[in-house]
A = this chain, B = another copy of it.
């Protein structure tokens, strides 16, 4: 039996998952790949730690990245440094690399892929997006006959858990977040998850491999879920929508949209029914139409399942010439496009507005006048009156319009005398399946 020699950086949940699977499923793995996967060494910060299978551990990074026996280095530490330096060194030492590090790929992928290409090495990252769902391979290898028109993903399980709890149990954001933290779904500092940064890292990667553009994390529009009120979830429900925190990317003739924000989706669409910590990615190709992939977006074993997929690909291509590799970002390195990323004010979509107004004659007329002036067409309106304080919630949905027009309108609406508090602005998308 041929042997694939693996060095792992980090020994957290995912690395433990990789070790578990190589042990539990070694018969299946060998029957499929013809290889025995062997963990030669694991880089840890301290040797004084749990090591259930008595695997070789080292605190000396060079014992892995400078070790000539090791074929592939699997980076599972997360964060930018020292992961970036270790991966560069591993590539310079002619080792293939696998990483689950979405932040690193989204922000430093362009330079890493360049280095890997120069060295003729594979640099794989299936585990960096949507845990165990094989969405990277689908985009890189399966949908190649398509022009990808758009994609939309629930790609942060923590956020989806919180939104599901808010909807199903009527809980507040902070209450649902506390629960997610108690269950281990959310970090003590939940910023990356609830403010959409983690989703934006993943969306950056998906947009690149879908459309053939360089990684451009700094151009992603990002809006989190921390300001969502349970009232909006309730009103959206009454209007026939579920609110999901989506990463959306669209490939338009004018340019590319890449945006992460809470989104109203018609309830009957499949992605509306993806609940709890589960992830789903909907891709629309001009040949295949909509394709949705659903599964566990995090967790040691699901994410390790994606690492093993990359290990299998590397084992199969170990002695093959680099011209047989799949291109890093799905498109040939020299064929990436410089299509512009559209500023958020330039996008077109439908909107949900909740305006808080003093319930007096003329308010509605003033609001509709402003919207009409900006050529914004209202699809539907509900006015709810609070008896206690003489305040009304005016909820509106609009037809598709330019975001700049909506933002300008809100500014004018909020300047009206009878408007109290901030207007809630959410975007509506329909994927038709």
Chain A contact residues, CB within 8 Å of chain B: 17, 21-22, 24-25, 28-34, 126, 132-134, 137-138, 141-147, 212, 268, 270, 273-274, 278, 285-296, 299, 301-302, 304-309, 311-313, 316-317, 320-321, 324-327, 330-332, 335, 337, 433
Contacts and interface: CB of A to CB of B under 8 A. Distances in A.
A31 B288 contact: no
Contacts of A292: 292-295
B308 A145 contact: yes
Given A144-B29, A145-B305, A291 B293 contact: yes
A25 B304 contact: no
B278 A145 contact: no
A192 to B, nearest CB: 23
A409 B234 CA distance: 49
A231 to B, nearest CB: 25
A-B complex: 6 closest residue pairs judged by Cβ atoms:
A145-B308, A134-B142, A132-B288, A31-B335, A291-B295, A288-B305
A312 B28 contact: no
Contacts of A285: 132, 305
Given A29-B145, A330-B32, A324 B320 contact: yes
24 contacts: A22-B145, A25-B147, A32-B212, A33-B144, A132-B288, A134-B141, A134-B143, A134-B291, A144-B312, A145-B304, A145-B307, A145-B308, A270-B273, A285-B305, A287-B308, A288-B301, A288-B302, A288-B305, A289-B296, A291-B295, A292-B292, A292-B293, A316-B324, A317-B324
A331 B296 contact: no
B143 A287 contact: no
Q: Is the interface of A mostly helix, strand, loop or mixed?
A: mixed
A287 B17 contact: yes
Contact of A312 (B32, B145, B305): B145
Given A31-B331, A332-B32, A289 B295 contact: yes
Contacts of A25: 145-147, 286-287
Nearest to A126: B142
A301 B313 contact: no
Given A138-B137, A145-B309, A309-B141, A301 B287 contact: yes
Contact of A144 (B141, B308, B330, B433): B308
A64 to B, nearest CB: 21
Contacts of A290: 294-296
A299 B286 CA distance: 13
A285 B332 CA distance: 32
A289 B142 contact: no
Contacts of A288: 132, 295-296, 301-302, 305
B29 A132 contact: no
A254 B212 CA distance: 48
A340 B144 CA distance: 38
A325 B316 CA distance: 7
A257 to B, nearest CB: 18
Given A28-B144, A30-B335, A133-B291, 14 more contacts: A25-B145, A25-B146, A29-B144, A34-B332, A132-B285, A134-B143, A137-B138, A143-B305, A145-B308, A268-B273, A289-B295, A289-B302, A290-B294, A290-B295
Contacts of A299: 289
A24 B311 CA distance: 35
Given A146-B305, A212-B32, A324-B316, A274 B278 contact: no
Contact of A142 (B137, B144, B278, B317): B137
B295 A294 contact: no
A291 B294 contact: yes
Given A292-B295, A320-B321, A433-B278, A144 B32 contact: yes
A332 B31 contact: yes
A25 B145 CA distance: 7
A333 to B, nearest CB: 10
